[in-house]
Structure 1
């Protein structure tokens, strides 16, 4: 019975991921406005957000404003700001003058009166309010989660990956342009605590009324969906981690009834930091600290404010997604979501079509965590075990300029692609150099798949274009077709893209060797046709003997 329940659980996980990440076959005008760098976006560069909101839990209502500071790149008189219904804009103003606008769905085209001079910095004041979309099944379905803890106190959090940050606050809702820094001020009832990104600067009690303001400040560039607000009956504990860049503050915000439990369970957090600084380089946001914040949903990679809801269990809600036992050696949410600090928050995709850069590398980080503490064989067992979750239904890369994410295979097919690539690199020191180099070369930047591909090809001195085409842009699994007769091994690749010629490691009996298949048949001599052929399991391929 336990096995049946486990299989059902895995199927539900696969279905939910597929529903979240499915490709659309047709796209609307609104998809283009949401997913492309429109003329009304590309003329200005984000500098600073000053976001102020009041949260009224009993009414499930928010109100406030965002001051958007930007640099003019070229002259233009229309600026695009995004805010999703049912939230409403009360006013746009610049230099104390109210501005007119036109609206297409969640997109506001604001007509500026002031001449926009290239090189100048200007501010746009946006006032808004309403009852934001309530998340049905966070984090896959985004918005506000309005819950209560077991003591009946409000327990609230935001999540908005894919759907967009404009589901709860007005902003430039495209990933290509990250704001340089940000203030987040949250008014909440005095019996609750509000936690956001960055560091807590101050709290302010109003002379009249029963609300308290929590002011947080983010010192580093941050992507829009990485911004979050969490509200609850929190308590805080912390530690200082001696990291590669010095002392790193690690803070934990949990419901007060879970304090003792969290102090034991969150020991995975410094272990995570040690492993990932080894593989990926220094934690990218020392200035903003690292936080784990308990929330009423599973979790999400909000920058410097990683949200946690894995019920203080090892694995994924107590289950092992690899079916090997290794997945129960760590808390999946702590390791996976914190891994996104390097791949998602430090290195961020420009376009949602390239979301594999976030999820492929971070799913692979689970494997590297095991590698660091338990060795390469354990890590290989784990990542190979996750292949059972791969659907090969659609390409990993989605369609560009329409906010379209690729297949859910970006997680574990992406991880197995990277595991395969590690075999081709051969030298583990070079492999670590590549992973750390990516986080250094593209530090606090938004990137494209091509930039990632080109960087790895340059460092490895290998043309990996066909390799990436095979695994990112095609659904077929490369298959090694072979025959071993009369002391001759005959072999070739099938189910491949043009120019795919990946070498692979095999064993002929106990003799390990590399072969270099192509689409045409090739042969090598062997000492005996009675010796079995074994394909190295670390390559994500299939084999077919005939």
Structure 2
């Protein structure tokens, strides 16, 4: 449930001093000792071998309510994140991921002061006054402030909180969310979100999902956003700056696009960006079925991160090197295709990211065929012509390694795998899979093994040999 506009200042901009004064009573201390006998700590990781510190066990998050104020002059935030979750075991304590120098001023569980410790690479270890019973809902509230960390990873690039001269960007794939808010930072624990942002007048604050109100409070421009469908934390987004925002309707759905004023994009091009987003989304829906979210759009920005990203419901496109332009049509296609494959249907493990990028890249090939006349087979042949000793063929597509999750093999060989599958099972079965796979797995998590089993079920063919060559083996597959 979202809070009313009048409560923002109390919720998001100040910490409640009262919680700092509460001290555990002798009875509560005795209860805690008894809890130790039948309650155990939640796991400090979600089990992904590529990112063992990410995520946690013992609970499932239902909703994040983030209230955040940003001061561009100091680059500081003041924030309160409230988490609604359910225990999946009897918990004596549990962890959240929280990374960097942000200072916590208050932390409660079910409204009562809880003890906490920051340990390891990114762990916020929380011990509630009493154990949390399996199956029972609980809430966590964390008030904090400071300058969030920007992550610069040699293999994975820039993520986290990326400030600029008048605003900031939060981009989280794969490991940035915990720099801005306490989170169960694993794709396995999707949740809905309410994000309320307070920024100086003259700036615009954007996020995922549907706009849920805007107002002025104490000289600040406040906006609220609601992502009402489950979202993985790596797909959450905040963009703050001087933006021109264009809102149209795609059927009954809001189509919200924004262009960073520093890019010098003309109103005509901004309108074209909005129109292409709607047109291409409709085209992709003809392939993948009903769009899985309640709003759409995109943000063209100047961020110096060097990539576009499929942030849920509203992708971001960094056009720092291409001022005065809008995203290329094939790039819009790529990020919008991710809304079905990657955002709504999300891999269980990062090793399986080829299912995201392979489908998004193959969508580009389908776009080229429909809109430019270049056959998909021609694109496949051009990529397949890459020499056998090229690095493209070295990583295993379905297990490229932590530092190779954005390697060309994940994109190009992933797309080639889908085309090889199409040639093997025929167009009818292939496009049945393309349409039904996102539908039957909507808002869920899947593995490569799941996809192979589904493709075999739909096609009636045994496909082990094909997938062994294309995704499980290093080296150039034979045709």
Question: Shorter-chain TM-score category?
Answer: 0.7 to 0.9
- Residues 105 and 187 (structure 1), Cα distance of their counterparts in 2 relative to 1, 3 Å cut: same
The answer to whether the aligner puts 1:79 opposite 2:89 as a matched pair is: no
Name 1:425's counterpart in structure 2.
425
SS in 1 for 2:392: coil
CA deviations over 1:297-335 (Å, ceiling 9, x no partner): 442110011112347979x999xxxxxxxxxxx523311
- Structure 1, unmatched stretches of 5+, are 1-28, 149-153, 319-329, 480-540, 542-546
Given that 2:87 and 2:132 are in contact with CA atoms closer than 8 Å, whether structure 1 keeps it comes out as: yes
1:202-217 paired onto structure 2 within 5 Å: 202-206=213-217, 208=218, 210-217=219-226
Aligned equivalent of 1:46: 61
Aligned CA distance change for structure 1 residues 477 and 52 (closer, same or farther; 3 Å):
same
- State the Cα distance separating 1:406 from its structure 2 match: 7.4
Deviation at 1:61, TM superposition (A): 1.5
Residues 265, 101 of structure 1: CA spacing in aligned structure 2 closer, same or farther, 3 A cutoff? Answer: closer
Say if 2:152 and 2:159, in contact at 8 Å, map to a contact too.
Answer: yes
Q: Within the alignment, does 1:157 sit opposite 2:174 as a pair? A: no
Does residue 366 of structure 1 match 2:364? yes
Match of 2:40 in 1: none
Residue 468 of structure 1 pairs with residue 467 of structure 2: yes
Q: Are 2:55 and 2:186, in contact at CA under 8 Å, matched by a contact in 1?
A: no
Check conservation: 1:31, 1:403, Cα contact below 8 A. no
User: Is the 8 Å Cα contact of residues 86 and 136 (structure 2) preserved in structure 1?
Assistant: yes
Q: How far does the alpha carbon of each residue in 1:213-267 deviate from its partner, in whole angstroms, 9 at most, with x for none?
A: 211111100110111000121222233224xxxx332121123552332113443
Identify the range of structure 1 (40-49 vs 455-464) with the bigger mean alpha-carbon deviation: 40-49
| Structure-2 change in CA distance of 1:406 and 1:190 (3 Å) | closer
Quick one: distance in 2 between partners of 1:424 and 1:34? 32
Equivalence for 1:346: 344
1:271 to 1:69, Cα distance in 2 relative to 1, 3 A: same
Partner of 1:397: 398
Find out whether 1:234 has 2:217 as its counterpart: no
Q: Do the aligned partners of 1:68 and 1:125 also contact (CA within 8 Å) in 2?
A: yes
Deviations 1:112-167 (A, max 9, x none): 2233223321101122222122365998311222224xxxxx24212120224112
Q: Supply the distance in 2 between the matched residues of 1:42 and 1:186 (Cα, whole angstroms).
A: 29
Are 1:292 and 2:298 counterparts?
yes
In the TM superposition, 1:87-102 aligns within 5 A as 87-102=102-117
CA contact (8 A) 1:395 1:406 kept: no
CA positional deviation for 1:477: 1.7
Report whether the alignment pairs 1:141 with 2:153. Answer: no
- 1:414 alignment counterpart: 414
Q: CA deviation at 1:347?
A: 0.5
> Deviation string for 1:159-201 (max 9, x for gaps)?
120224112221001111101x210011111110100011111
Structure 2: which 5+ residue stretches go unaligned?
Answer: 1-43
Determine the structure 1 residue equivalent to 2:13: none
Q: Is the 8 A contact 2:425 2:461 kept in 1?
A: no
In the alignment, the residues of structure 1 paired with residue 66 and residue 232 of structure 2 have an alpha-carbon distance, to the nearest angstrom, of 14
Q: Shift of the alpha carbon at 1:83?
A: 1.0
Q: Is the 8 A contact 2:56 2:185 kept in 1?
A: no
Please tell me whether residue 132 in structure 1 is matched to residue 156 in structure 2: no
Confirm whether residue 273 of structure 1 aligns to residue 281 of structure 2: yes
Matched, 1:222 2:231: yes
Secondary structure at the aligned position of 2:451 is classed as helix
1:36 CA displacement = 7.0
- 1:360, CA displacement in angstroms? 1.2
Task: Provide the rounded CA distance (Å) in 2 between the counterparts of 1:278 and 1:31.
Answer: 35
Structure 1: distance between partners of 2:409 and 2:326: 21
Contact 1:391–1:409 (Cα < 8 Å) also in 2 = yes
Q: Which secondary structure state, in structure 2, belongs to the residue aligned with residue 293 of structure 1?
A: strand
Secondary structure in structure 1 of the residue aligned to 2:89: coil
Confirm whether residue 121 of structure 1 aligns to residue 137 of structure 2.
Answer: yes
Aligned counterparts of 1:96 and 1:203: Cα–Cα separation in 2: 28
Cα distance per residue 1:66-121 (max 9 Å; x no partner): 11101122211111100111333333211332222332121122112233223321
Structure 2 SS opposite 1:41 = coil
Q: SS of the residue aligned with 1:191?
A: coil
Q: How big is each residue's C-alpha offset from its partner over 1:284-303, in whole Å with a ceiling of 9 and x where there is no partner?
A: 10x2x102112224421100
Structure 1 residues 136 and 407, CA, compared in 2 at 3 Å: closer, same or farther?
A: closer
Q: Equivalents in 1 of 2:329, 2:322: separation in Å?
A: 6
2:355 aligns to what?
Answer: 357
Matched pairs, number: 423
Q: Bigger radius of gyration, 1 or 2?
A: 1
Q: C-alpha separation between the residues in 1 aligned to 2:269 and 2:321? A: 7
Cα pair 1:187 1:214 within 8 Å, conserved: yes
Instruction: Quote the Cα distance in structure 1 between the aligned partners of 2:464 and 2:107.
Output: 47
Residues 304, 341 of structure 1: 8 Å contact kept:
yes
Q: How does 1:531-542 map to 2 (within 5 A)?
A: 541=479
